[in-house]
Amino acid sequence: MNQKNFEYLKDQVKYSGFGESLENDLKANLQKQAPEFTLQHQATFGKDQVNSELHFKRSTQSDLYFLNSYEAELKKENQKEALKQTFYVNKQGGNITLKEAYNLMDGRAVNKDLTNKEGQVYNAWLQMDFKQTENNGNFKVKQFHQKYGFELEKALEKHPIKELGVEFDKRRLVESIQKGNRQAVTFEKDGVEKKHFIQAAPQFKSITVYDENMKRVSNRQQKSETQQQTAGQDQSVKKDDQKQAASQQNEASENSPSKGKKASHSKGMSVS
């Protein structure tokens, strides 16, 4: 057995999201020197279960083995049929981790740095198209490149998300959504906080919002809430402007050397 090859594969399996539980089986199969072998893995995400089969193959030119692909099968709690998809591994990177695979199979979008045939790195949002399949049986994966125009941070800023106010929390939120997670956030409106869940919707250049009961909030409802929030902010700013202007006018009048001079005041900017 090639020890360096084992260490490399062990780390690759671990950082692909399969943990360390396959380490002993991996070593045992490498010692057998078979041309190829598979390893089984099982994981749960909430009430969903993902069974994976990892495919390893030995090079025809050396004793090195490579993880070429893994097949994931998603079983959801209230669905009879399981969903299957094969994810391929390449040396250039940009590989889909187990959690990202689950998120894609559950209908969410994942942001990845990918490499094209010319070796150039590019960034894109990936999302499975469950209405179309490839020749190998895989569902097609749609890509939304940077030129498509979806900007996650700008889409987030259209909503009263409390976590955006702290840079550390904002960065963690962005990174979580980029991995395809449906992330819990706090909507803050008129001093009242509500728990919501959000996920990226790159195809529509927006984010999808769910309430605390995981019921999707319609676009019309989102727009209404955003308008109410903006109107509330404008009204609050107007009141502050009026108070500030009155205060400045009174102060100027009291300190004016002549009653005939008009006091000047500045008008604050409206925030929207």
Specify the range with the lowest mean pLDDT, choosing from 16-20, 77-81, 248-252.
248-252
Give whole-number Cα distances, 164 to 111, 113, 146, 232, in Å.
Answer: 19, 24, 22, 19
Confidence (pLDDT) at 258:
39
Q: Does residue 136 surpass a pLDDT of 80? A: yes
Q: Does residue 238 surpass a pLDDT of 70? A: no
Residue 51 phi, psi (nearest 5): -100, 130
Closest by CA position to 63, among listed 102, 9, 104: 9
Q: Does residue 175 surpass a pLDDT of 50? A: yes
Could you tell me which residue, 74 or 248, shows the higher pLDDT? 74
Could you tell me which residue, 35 or 237, shows the higher pLDDT? 35
Alpha carbons 120 and 53: distance in angstroms, whole number: 30
How crowded is residue 241: how many other Cβ atoms within 10 Å of its Cβ?
A: 16
Confidence (pLDDT) at 116:
85
Alpha helices in 39-179 (DSSP H): 98-105, 152-156, 167-178
Going by pLDDT thresholds of 50, 70 and 90, the confidence category of residue 221 is low
Confidence (pLDDT) at 48:
95
Residue 171 phi, psi (nearest 5): -65, -40
| pTM metric for this prediction | 0.79
Going by pLDDT thresholds of 50, 70 and 90, the confidence category of residue 218 is confident
Specify the range with the lowest mean pLDDT, choosing from 184-198, 220-234, 256-270.
256-270
Q: What is the DSSP letter of 80?
A: S
Taking residues 198-225, what's their average pLDDT? 85
Could you tell me which residue, 230 or 13, shows the higher pLDDT? 13
User: pLDDT of 70-99, one tens digit each?
Assistant: 999 999 988 889 999 999 998 777 899 999
Going by pLDDT thresholds of 50, 70 and 90, the confidence category of residue 223 is low
